[in-house]
Amino acid sequence: MIPKLRHYTKQTLTNSCAAIVVYSLSLVMAGSGDLETLRCIRQVRNHLTDPPSVESDSFIYGVQTFCNTALGFLFLGNARYGFSQSTEATAMLLISSYPIFSQSICDQKHYFQPLRFLWSIATEYRHLTPVDDSSYEAIRMQAKITVAGENEKPLILQLPSVLPPLSSIKKIVFYARDYKEVELDMSNAEDKAELEKVLKEYFGRFPVKKVVKQYSKVFDSPPVFKLSDTFDCAPIRNDSFLLNLPLG
């Protein structure tokens, strides 16, 4: 798509708009590691083909800054973190994402570049990993998450995975075949505090109790049946019918 737009606009304008678009997309897909988003970012980075000059070098610095930051957002914290939806986090993201392209690392004329790192205040750990409470080994579980909104259709995830924004979650239920089902209601202060403690202090490792099922044992050994136990008397042998059989 980018090569087609160059027939109608200048390359600097096209690359600037494309860099802002992929930067905005990475904010939405932060921490997901989405492959299609990664391809879009790489396409923008690989189409900076202006001939070397002072003007092009200063422009490329700004576009590369946005593209590289977008890559960092896409794999935020090894795809274990996400951006919070709180008011403070939104303000930090707005300040750090102001769409002004600096010409060099020392260019503070239009934007104070250290403010670009305020996005780090807006991050939150959202990777949930259920573990066995006795062996502390990671296990796979299904999670049914109810998210607040008009369409409250449950979201099904395969844990370990990254949760949706914590402020939008209403209820989480995760279950497995041999483990106890766990239900966390975010409207309950205790459940909400428990989940936040697991994510902040234990890096998302949620202990789950294993259920030991008791099976009834019918036979200690394979049953043995004797013919004498079945019949009280010996069978009567009658050979007289053999005399009436036709010969030949």
pLDDT of residue 54: 47
pLDDT tens readout for residues 155-190: 888 888 888 888 888 899 988 888 888 899 988 889
pLDDT of residue 10: 66
Q: Is 189 exposed, middle or buried (0-12, 13-18, 19+ CB in 10 A)?
A: exposed
Quick one: which H or E segment has residue 141?
Answer: strand 141-147
Residue 23 has pLDDT above 90, yes or no: yes
pLDDT tens readout for residues 86-100: 899 999 999 998 888
Contact indicator for 199, 160 with CB cutoff of 8 Å = no
pLDDT tens readout for residues 110-140: 888 889 899 999 998 988 999 998 888 899 9
Give residue limits of the domains in the chain.
Answer: 2-124, 127-208
CA distance 34 to 80: 13
Residue 83 has pLDDT above 80, yes or no: yes
Residue 230 has pLDDT above 90, yes or no: no
Tell me, what amino acid is at 233?
Answer: C
Kindly report whether the global pTM for this prediction surpasses the value 0.85.
Answer: no
pLDDT of residue 244: 53
Contact indicator for 34, 74 with CB cutoff of 8 Å = yes
Q: What is the mean pLDDT of the chain?
A: 79
Of the ranges 39-43, 49-53, 232-236, which is most confident? 39-43
Share of the chain above pLDDT 90, in %: 19
